[in-house]
Structure 1
């Protein structure tokens, strides 16, 4: 399947922490389709080893690495029916 990463955009800068899944969630859009992305705690800790482990620290780690994480999301995104991806 051909990658559709070019169509994926991130116009909404919001993100949230999901304590039940131990991840930061954010959203991208492929035309009108909303695509959910989850970045697990382990990945955020790998990107920022000194960040800490609570919700504020993990959200701050996401913010510091936003461009890198968005790049990973674009590389992971394949288009098609799947609408949730995990970055770990």
Structure 2
């Protein structure tokens, strides 16, 4: 099957310090997380300690295409229960 992202919803996961989003491989839900360090690369304001959840979600929306491309690449390397995208996946 092919990984798809038909649901545009995303949420901030404070415990993981990441934005959570979901992909689907056929009928299987695949959870992904994007570390805030990835989002901060695109916006210097996000490097500040007081960056808001709303700011991180807006940065995710701006980078959605490249985040989905990185998710495809990581997902194709093997099966996991969830996937954390870090700065290394965007180099």
- Smaller-chain TM-score bracket: 0.7 to 0.9
Structure 1 residues not aligned, in runs of 5+: none
Structure 1 residue 83, shift from structure 2 partner: 2.7
Structure 1 residue 13, shift from structure 2 partner: 0.5
Aligned to 2:89: none
Structure 2 residues not aligned, in runs of 5+: 87-91
Secondary structure at 2:22 match in 1: strand
Of structures 1 and 2, the one with the larger relative CO (CA 8 A, separation 6+) is 1
Aligned-pair Cα RMSD in Å = 1.7
Aligned to 2:69: 71
- Structure (1/2) with the larger helix percentage: 2
Aligned to 1:25: 20
What TM-score comes out, normalization by structure 2 length?
A: 0.82
